[in-house]
Structure 1
Amino acid sequence: MQANIDLQGLRVGITGGTSGLGLALVRQLAEKGASIAFVARTAANVERVGAETGAQGIVADIGKKDDIYPIAMQISANLGGVDVLINNASSLGPVPLALLADTECEELEAALVVNVLGAFRLTKALFGALAASAREGRGGLVINISSDAAVNAYPGWGAYGASKAALAHLTAIWDAESKGDGIRFVALDPGDMDTPLHALALPDADRSTLKDPELAAAEIIEKMLDALPSHDALTAGAHA
């Protein structure tokens, strides 16, 4: 990762910003000067991360339809627009993990509501702001956090994997449809990480075999920079 990148002026919205990958992204982007608005459900955690990083915290639930427009309005108002949206918040579905035959319909629905509908609704609500950013040559990028469970059939991961597969294909279609607006859509798989979500899914997993979320965040930021139209300006003179 290029250590001296200055992201001053870059406006980034992040969902699920108080733990795991989302928290690592908030920390690293804030350290590099980006303006961040992040979303999470627990007020105490939002306050803590906001105080630590200087990022703007929003207490809301991406899985609740009625929260979406307030989230979008607060992101736009706090940042003065949005250049990059990172849809990171995720739901496992049933906990503990269950075979599809043992998964309740409501548990599958819960995974789809957060992992697909939540990301879709928030992106749709911010589409105009993202298009404006693209017209200004600032950004216009949506990063949807996917998983290898979207392409590999892991027993027990049916609700999560199916929802992430839907998100990945949704991303590809939206990218094809949004070229005229200048907005890019990418789905990124960060790999198996040592996060609270992974621990919830596989509590007995060997943590030494899992990727550090800080490393995954650095990799995602590299890919974000490659996709931004302002990449050259952001990285000029940035090589350590």
Structure 2
Amino acid sequence: MQMNIDLQGLRVVVTGGTSGLGLALVRKLIEKGACVAFVARTASNVERIAAETGAHGIVADLGKKEHIYPIAMQVTASLSGVDILINNASSLGPVPLALLADTECEQLEAALAVNLLGAFRLTKALFGALAASAREGRGALVTNISSDAAVNAYPGWGAYGASKAALAHLTAIWDEEAKVDGIRFLALDPGDMDTPLHALALPDADPSTLKAPELAAAEIIEKMIGALPVRANLLAGEQA
């Protein structure tokens, strides 16, 4: 995979940026020259990753409505705009995983609050900034991290799978509606990864059978750059 492209000046927001895929994305984007702001709930982890990478860390919970606009204000202030939003933060719902008949309503609500409503609210709060980026010719893209659980009916994954299926369809609709604003929407499935979230869901899984988050991050960045017309020529040049 070619990853020598220069992302200098690209302004990117990553949710769930202190572990797993989110952390791998923050590190890779910073390495390639992007300006990055990331969001996570635990202050100590946010401070550590911000110090390590130089990215702007924001302590907030995507599942709480009242946190959304403060996130948006901090993002736009720290980055002076937004070119790419990556809605990566995820909640499994019940842990250990449970059949739907054994899932409490509050557990389903928790998965929907982060995986669907959190992504929707933050996208809506940053929509104006993304549209401005598109008008300036920088390109604008929202990437929603999906899962094969959004299309395959895995027993025990009901809350997570239903929320991701809703997110994938929301993405498709918004991609149609936002064409007039010049904003692209992608739903990307990174595959089964060796992450804390996966270990929480399937503690007995063999890590050697899972994809490294760093590889998944590189694949996602390549797909995102390919979806931004003003950057796609850079990717094409690297692959020539």
TM over 0.5: yes
Indicate the RMSD between aligned Cα atoms, in angstroms.
1.2
Match of 2:131 in 1: 131
> What are the superposed Cα offsets for residues 115-168 of structure 1, whole Å, 9 maximum, x if unpaired?
000000000000000001111111210000000000000000000000000000
- Cα distance in 2, alignment partners of residues 45 and 153 from structure 1: 34
TM-score, normalised by the number of residues in structure 2: 0.97
1:187 correspondence with 2:176: no
- Cα distance in 1, alignment partners of residues 94 and 235 from structure 2: 42
1:206 correspondence with 2:206: yes
Does the 8 Å contact 2:137/2:230 carry over to 1?
yes
Structure-to-structure mapping, 1:214-233, within 5 angstroms:
214-232=214-232
- Cα distance in 2, alignment partners of residues 35 and 233 from structure 1: 20
Match of 1:145 in 2: 145
Comparing 91-100 and 221-230, the one that deviates more: 221-230
Identity of aligned residues (%): 84
5+ residue gaps, structure 1, are none
Q: Which amino acid aligns with 1:100?
A: L
- Cα distance in 2, alignment partners of residues 178 and 239 from structure 1: 29
> What are the superposed Cα offsets for residues 7-65 of structure 1, whole Å, 9 maximum, x if unpaired?
11100000000000000000000000000000000011001111111100000001000
Structure-to-structure mapping, 1:70-85, within 5 angstroms:
70-85=70-85
> What are the superposed Cα offsets for residues 81-121 of structure 1, whole Å, 9 maximum, x if unpaired?
00000000000000000000000000000000000000000
Q: Report the 3-state secondary structure (helix = DSSP H, G, I; strand = E; otherwise coil) of the residue aligned with 1:178.
A: helix
5+ residue gaps, structure 2, are none
Does the 8 Å contact 2:222/2:235 carry over to 1?
no
- Cα distance in 2, alignment partners of residues 3 and 145 from structure 1: 20
Structure-to-structure mapping, 1:35-184, within 5 angstroms:
35-184=35-184
Does the 8 Å contact 2:3/2:222 carry over to 1?
no
Q: Which amino acid aligns with 1:101?
A: A
Q: Which amino acid aligns with 2:161?
A: G
Structure 1 position 6, deviation (Å) = 1.1
Does the 8 Å contact 2:3/2:218 carry over to 1?
no
Q: Report the 3-state secondary structure (helix = DSSP H, G, I; strand = E; otherwise coil) of the residue aligned with 1:153.
A: coil
Q: Report the 3-state secondary structure (helix = DSSP H, G, I; strand = E; otherwise coil) of the residue aligned with 2:229.
A: coil
TM-score, normalised by the number of residues in structure 1: 0.97
Q: Which amino acid aligns with 2:47?
A: E
Does the 8 Å contact 1:63/1:117 carry over to 2?
yes
Structure 1 position 235, deviation (Å) = 3.9
Q: Which amino acid aligns with 1:76?
A: T
The 1:155–1:237 alpha-carbon spacing in structure 2 relative to 1, beyond 3 Å, is closer
Does the 8 Å contact 2:12/2:35 carry over to 1?
yes
Match of 1:12 in 2: 12
Structure 1 position 5, deviation (Å) = 1.3
The 1:188–1:3 alpha-carbon spacing in structure 2 relative to 1, beyond 3 Å, is closer
